Amino acid sequence: MPTKRKTRKTAPRRSALRAKSKTAGKTGRKPAPGRTPKAAMRADRPSLLPAATRPAPRTIYGILHPGTVAAADPDFRDAPEGWTPATARALASEFGLTLTDDHWEAIRVLQGSYRDEAAPRIRLLRDALEARFAARGGMKYLFEILPGGPIAQGCALAGLKPPHGARDLSFGSVA
């Protein structure tokens, strides 16, 4: 005949004790005078604040370059500090190029990529340029307007340091 197992009486479960201790301390803070508890909670969440008092969103560029001021030229919001369209025109004349709207668009794309990441990979830059100029022929078209390489020569015109591997000195431009 089977025997019954003896069960031990144990202490209450730990999870029940934790739940009691969490609810015990909820009496907490009182709201500021003249504020309801819900209004006090709303002030703690920035998404519910009026737009004038809401802090500006932080970007990677802002974190990596604290204290920088936005570019003066509204057409080139992501331009590096000290870069102007005049410097790009001067550099383009050294390269023997006349800058068109497509050149300026490529410069904006490259500057925007560097705004998101401090040192973007060559593949990221290539994909961003390819996506923007896909309707016009993609990288083939970019090599026509920037014969020194869309990434290497484009970064030079945009006032940016080209990523590692964009130029092979023994071969020429590879990107």
pLDDT above 60 for 168: yes
86-95 pLDDT, tens digit each: 999 999 999 9
The encoded tokens of residue 151 equal 């990434």
* Per-residue pLDDT, 65: 72
Check pLDDT > 70 for residue 128. Answer: yes
Q: How far apart are CA 85 and CA 90, in angstroms?
A: 9
- Put simply, whether the predicted model's pTM sits higher than 0.75 gets the answer no
Mean pLDDT of 39-57: 54
Judge whether residue 173 has pLDDT over 70. Answer: no
Question: Alpha-carbon Rg of the chain, whole angstroms?
Answer: 29
Nearest to 81 by CA among 115, 120, 117: 115
